Amino acid sequence: MSSELLTLYDAVRAHITKKSDEELLKVIPLAAIVGEVELSGDAFKRQLELGHSAYVYNSPALGFWNFSALHHVLPDGVSGKYYWMWMQGDPKVAEPDHWLQTASQQEKLDHVVKEVAQMPAKIRELFESTPAEGIKKQSHIWRDLELESLPAGRVVLVGDAAHAMTPFRGEGGYHSFIDAIKLSKILTGLNIKDNDAIKAAISEYNVEMLERGGDAVRGSRNEQGAKVTKEGKLMSAGQAVRPLPEESIVLAPIQPC
């Protein structure tokens, strides 16, 4: 999402709620380092065998977890760009003197490579192949948003503007679509000259949207990394963790038309 769009709906939300982002957005105590790397040939093939689009590797014993994903395949068909995010719980991540605020790209990369040294070689490869210039310079701080209520007025909030959440359950876009669909259904057929009916309809939408969105925000916030249930099952993103099956992939260059 563009910074211009974020600035726009931040301003709209602040106007409606009469509160600033500093008052509304909650910091998620999670330090994150983001990297990007271009892979080709066997290295690219090995990543696709781990997951066609993305995969997560985590274990409570590690003390951190990572998300790795294919950004896009390059035109030759045998290479592509990947990105990864290394994450670790850290209650001080938003403090101005946190080390990630001033660390260089090389220092961030060195930290990650040291941390992942205990992981299997096939998982480490993505991190160890990443150059220092592939590390995101800006410090990445997760924040989410829970609103208790909204006024029923001429401006209506949907999606991240009303319930920004972490991506750990993959539900942000889903709830944005649900917001838009439900709002459209509520407004369809209303008499645009009946202000009382419009206000009642918006109020109905706000109540349901904030309750549903708030549940999703809290659920996503609580799904950081892997957790072990009382039954001993390892869970992540609301699902039982299971190993990916071994797979063999054959790459072939794309032939020009």
Residues 113 and 137 in one domain: yes
Q: Which single residue is written with the structure tokens 């260089």?
A: 104
Q: Report, as an integer, the average pLDDT of 36-55.
A: 92
Q: Which single residue is written with the structure tokens 């590390």?
A: 135
Residues 164 and 122 in one domain: no
The pTM of the full predicted model, rounded to 2 decimals, is 0.81
Lookup: tokens for 15: 């106007």
Residue 253 has pLDDT above 50, yes or no: yes
Q: Say which range, 56-70, 164-178, 216-230, 236-250, has the weakest mean pLDDT.
A: 236-250
Radius of gyration of the chain (CA): 22
Residues 100 and 168 in one domain: no
Q: Place 86 in a pLDDT band, splitting at 50, 70 and 90.
A: very high
Question: What pLDDT is stored for residue 109 in this prediction?
Answer: 98
HSE value, Cβ hemisphere, 13 Å, CA-based, for 50:
22
DSSP letter string over 125-185?
HHHHT--GGGB-SSPEEEEEE--S----SS----THHHH---STTS-HHHHHHHHHHHHHH
Residue 98 lies in a domain: yes
Q: What is the pLDDT of residues 183-237, one digit of tens each?
A: 999 988 888 888 899 999 999 999 999 999 999 999 888 876 556 667 777 666 6
Question: What pLDDT is stored for residue 2 in this prediction?
Answer: 39
Select from 110, 142, 174 the last residue of a domain: 142
Residues 133, 122: Cα–Cα separation, whole Å = 22
Listed in sequence order, the residues at least 6 apart from 80 whose beta carbon sits closer than 8 Å to its beta carbon are 38, 39, 40, 44, 47, 70, 71, 72, 73, 74
Question: What pLDDT is stored for residue 4 in this prediction?
Answer: 44
**To the nearest whole number, what is the mean pLDDT of the chain?**
88
Residues 171 and 116 in one domain: no
Q: Which single residue is written with the structure tokens 């029923």?
A: 152
Residues 134 and 41 in one domain: yes
Residues 129 and 162 in one domain: no
Name the percent of the chain lying above pLDDT 70: 90
Q: Report, as an integer, the average pLDDT of 11-23.
A: 90
Residues 100 and 159 in one domain: no
Output the CA torsion sign for 247, 250, 254, 255. Answer: negative
Residues 77, 142: Cα–Cα separation, whole Å = 34
For 202-226, letters b (16+ CB in 10 Å) and e give beebbeebbeebbebbebbbebbbb
Question: Which residue range forms the structural domain that includes residue 71?
Answer: 28-142
Residues 168, 166: Cα–Cα separation, whole Å = 6
Q: Report, as an integer, the average pLDDT of 43-66.
A: 86
Residue 46 lies in a domain: yes
Q: Report, as an integer, the average pLDDT of 40-56.
A: 91
158 neighbors 177 (Cβ within 8 angstroms): no
Residues 93 and 188 in one domain: no
Domain count, the chain: 2
Residues 134 and 160 in one domain: no
Q: Report, as an integer, the average pLDDT of 109-137.
A: 96
Residue 201 lies in a domain: yes
Output the CA torsion sign for 45, 59, 34, 68. Answer: positive
Q: Report, as an integer, the average pLDDT of 89-108.
A: 95
Select from 142, 170, 200 the last residue of a domain: 142
Q: Report, as an integer, the average pLDDT of 250-256.
A: 78
93 neighbors 29 (Cβ within 8 angstroms): yes
Residues 159 and 96 in one domain: no
